[in-house]
């Protein structure tokens, strides 16, 4: 199995060279830069059919073998003619000498004062450089058509050869995540196979003696594990190959065995729980023993504690993302830290979370000095302008409010209180990968 190739310096060396680095008070932006700069793309390329290529990362530029369109063609159903025939101050009457259909070339050329009836996509006959849509014309007889003054200009409604794409040019570039339109583009070029990066293998598990799997009875003080299912959904959207390792108990031997197993089979490991201060949190201890791991207290809410680095076991190395245990904090730290890093590991071109600006419908309390991510519901007012309101309680354990939300309101590090009507940054969940 091909493992991730890591470059020097080590994470410890990397962060020690940073100015103003403080793991106990780390701004969000600095933590994001560290993660993004430290991780490296995985190795491994495979060839797949376009039926298998959706959401895969392109491993090499796709060079177009043809020009698109291959010939000048009509963009409309209408009549093709020479633009020089258009009268400057009167209607123009043309003689119809034939019809040309899509997929069939016109035999002959069109002279002055002549035209051909033409269908959308049909090759422009020799001598023609313009098309007048059928609905703009007046039929004087079966053999003539009149073009009213001013309805078209020379060159209108003609698509030029190579207008979309020229032969020999890159149709799609390396690092692109292939979407439905890309599959259609590949097919239009006659390309049935592409080279893609192999899927990123991600192992994930939850830690905690209080956690129970679905179907198990709940003892007093116990809760069902929800984080694994949330992580499953987010990782699936990214197109990762998943290794679900279940719930790991809070004891050193179990945690070490889980981390070593994950390291042997995965490129990245994501854990939830065990990275904050706690008497039974052995995760930090085992992580430090097995790898090059730093533990952060990030200036954010929710999701302050986080671990990041690499784990090594039996000569194999995997990146580690130790996320908090609270359900909402897991989602926030994944979207704003792990997601971009995983995309980089996949070889994907930079794909930052899309932001839009929306007017807050209510006041929002916010202290400068930390970044806050609040669950919101995005809507529009009567004129179509975006509006956002906060979804109830913002506690990091209130997963229902995350389920009800359709966006995240991002309140910046230096930002203070928000007043109703102020514009705020919003990350929309729909379409988020």
Q: What DSSP assignment string belongs to 113-180?
A: TEEEEE-TTPBPPBT--EEEEGGG-EE-SSSEEEE-TTS--TTTTEEPTTSSB-TTSEEE-TTPBP-H
Residue 183 CA to residue 116 CA, distance in Å, equals 35
SS3 (DSSP) at 188: helix
Residue 383 CA to residue 223 CA, distance in Å, equals 45
Sign of CA dihedral 84, 90, 94, 99: positive
Q: List the chain pLDDT tens, one digit each, 433 residues.
A: 444 444 557 888 888 888 889 999 999 999 999 999 999 999 999 999 999 999 999 999 999 999 999 999 999 999 999 999 999 899 999 999 999 999 888 988 999 999 999 999 999 999 999 999 999 999 768 899 999 999 999 999 999 999 989 999 999 999 999 999 999 999 999 999 999 999 999 999 998 878 888 888 888 888 888 899 999 999 999 999 999 999 998 888 999 999 999 999 999 999 998 777 664 567 788 888 999 999 999 999 998 899 999 999 999 999 999 999 888 999 999 999 999 999 999 999 876 778 899 999 999 999 999 999 999 999 999 999 999 999 877 665 567 878 889 999 999 999 999 999 999 999 998 765 5
Residue 2's Cβ-count burial label (10 Å; 0-12, 13-18, 19+) is: exposed
Give residue-wise pLDDT tens across range 326-341: 889 999 999 999 999 9
Task: Spell out the domains of the chain, with CATH numbers in brackets.
Answer: 11-44+198-345 (3.40.980.10), 47-68+164-197 (3.90.105.10), 73-159 (2.170.190.11), 355-428 (2.40.340.10)
User: How many other β-carbons are positioned within 10 Å of the β-carbon of residue 125?
Assistant: 23
Residue 405 CA to residue 381 CA, distance in Å, equals 18
Whole-number pLDDT of residue 6: 47
Whole-number pLDDT of residue 2: 44
What is the layout of strands, in order, in the sheet containing 78-81? 130-133, 78-81, 114-118, 92-100, 144-147, 138-139
């Amino acid at each position: 199995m091909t493992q991730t190739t890591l470059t020097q310096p080590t994470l410890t060396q990397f962060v020690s060279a940073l100015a103003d680095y403080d793991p106990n008070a780390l701004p969000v932006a600095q933590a994001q830069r560290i993660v993004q700069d430290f991780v490296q793309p995985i190795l491994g390329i495979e060839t797949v059919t376009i039926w298998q290529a959706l959401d895969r990362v392109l491993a090499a530029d796709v060079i177009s073998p043809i020009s698109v369109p291959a010939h000048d063609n009509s963009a409309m159903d209408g009549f093709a003619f020479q633009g020089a025939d258009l009268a400057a101050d009167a209607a123009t009457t043309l003689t119809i000498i034939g019809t040309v259909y899509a997929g069939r070339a016109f035999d002959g050329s069109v002279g002055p004062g002549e035209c051909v009836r033409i269908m959308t996509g049909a090759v422009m006959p020799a001598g023609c450089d313009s098309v007048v849509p059928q609905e703009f014309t007046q039929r004087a007889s079966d053999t003539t058509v009149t073009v009213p003054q001013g309805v078209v200009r020379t060159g209108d409604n003609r698509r030029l050869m190579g207008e979309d794409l020229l032969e020999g040019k890159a149709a799609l570039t390396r690092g692109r995540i292939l979407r439905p339109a890309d599959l259609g583009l590949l097919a239009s070029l006659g390309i049935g196979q592409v080279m893609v990066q192999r899927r990123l293998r991600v192992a994930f598990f939850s830690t905690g003696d209080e956690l129970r799997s679905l179907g198990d009875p709940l003892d007093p003080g116990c809760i069902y594990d929800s984080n694994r299912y949330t992580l499953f959904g987010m990782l699936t959207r990214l197109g990762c190959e998943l290794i679900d390792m279940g719930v790991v108990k809070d004891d050193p031997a179990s945690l070490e065995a889980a981390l070593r197993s994950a390291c042997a089979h995965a490129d990245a490991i994501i854990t939830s729980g065990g990275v904050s201060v706690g008497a039974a949190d052995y995760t930090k201890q085992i992580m430090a023993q097995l790898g090059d791991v730093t533990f952060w207290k990030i200036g954010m809410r929710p999701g302050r504690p986080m671990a990041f680095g690499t784990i090594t076991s039996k000569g194999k190395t995997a990146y580690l993302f130790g996320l908090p245990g609270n359900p909402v904090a897991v989602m926030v730290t994944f979207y704003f830290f792990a997601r971009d890093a995983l995309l980089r590991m996949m070889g994907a071109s930079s794909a930052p979370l899309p932001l839009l600006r929306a007017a807050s419908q209510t006041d929002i309390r916010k202290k400068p000095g930390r970044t806050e991510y609040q669950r919101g519901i995005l809507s529009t007012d009567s004129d179509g302008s975006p509006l956002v309101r906060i979804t109830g309680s913002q506690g990091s354990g209130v997963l229902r409010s995350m389920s009800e939300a359709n966006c995240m309101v991002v309140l910046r590090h230096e930002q203070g209180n928000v007043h109703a009507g102020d514009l705020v940054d919003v990350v929309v969940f729909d379409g988020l990968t």
